[in-house]
């Protein structure tokens, strides 16, 4: 994930002020990286790195959950769904490596299993791309996210009903 002018935490600013300044650029970087990967067939290594990026973004946002309230739950659910797709792809790749180490090259089962795993990874990859384009990164989503993160941190909410 590209690092856009990372700034250190400002000790003199509040947590909410730091969140408003630092989280939107982190999300813009994440969307930029994701768009590049979703535009083409990506290697297992690149998708694994994006899985790690997704975890980092999600866990970072979860740290700030008290500042944002329930409005953050939908974006977090989207990140979890992306992690699930990426996890399925990674599991296929890892399992193929395990099979390659456990079965001789000439074993017919090895080729059949590799074919099944490749097909599953391909289906998961197609589902990920579809979800990314139609839901997670549909037009306006990045802007909605970054505006929310820039404006809502620490805003007092009326929780009484």
* pLDDT digits 0-9 by tens, 136-153: 999 999 999 999 999 877
Report pLDDT for 86.
98
pLDDT tens for 77-115 read 999 999 999 999 999 999 999 999 999 999 999 999 999
Tokens 């700030």 locate to 64
Q: Are 142 and 31 in contact (CB under 8 A)?
A: yes
- Domain positions in the chain are 15-152
Strands (E), 56-146: none
Q: How does pLDDT run across 67-86, given as a tens digit for each residue?
A: 998 889 999 999 999 999 99
pLDDT digits (tens, 9 = 90+) for 15-27: 999 999 999 999 9
Cβ-Cβ contacts under 8 Å for 16 (sequence gap 6 or more): 67, 153, 154
The encoded tokens of residue 56 equal 């980092």
pLDDT (mean) for 124-131: 97
Could you say which architecture CATH assigns to the domain 15-152?
A: Alpha solenoid (1.40)
> 23 and 149 in contact (C-beta within 8 Å)?
yes
4 pLDDT tier (thresholds 50, 70, 90): low
Mean pLDDT for the chain overall: 90
Write the secondary structure of 14-34 as one string of H (helix), E (strand) and C (coil). CHHHHHHHHHHHHHHHHHHHH
């Amino acid at each position: 994930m590209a690092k856009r002018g990372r700034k250190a935490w400002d000790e003199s600013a509040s947590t909410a002020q730091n969140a408003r300044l630092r989280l939107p650029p982190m999300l813009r970087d994440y969307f930029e990286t994701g768009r590049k990967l979703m535009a083409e067939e990506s290697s297992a290594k690149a998708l694994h790195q994006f899985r790690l990026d997704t975890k980092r973004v999600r866990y970072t946002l979860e740290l700030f959950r008290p500042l944002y309230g329930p409005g953050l739950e939908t974006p977090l659910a989207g990140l979890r769904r992306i992690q699930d797709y990426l996890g399925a792809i990674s599991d296929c790749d890892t399992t193929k490596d395990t099979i390659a180490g456990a079965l001789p090259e000439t074993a017919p089962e090895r080729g059949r299993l590799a074919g099944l795993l490749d097909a599953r990874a391909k289906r998961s990859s197609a589902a990920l791309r579809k979800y990314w384009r139609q839901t997670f990164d549909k037009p306006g989503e990045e802007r909605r996210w970054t505006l929310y993160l820039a404006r809502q941190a620490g805003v007092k909410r009326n929780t009484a009903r």
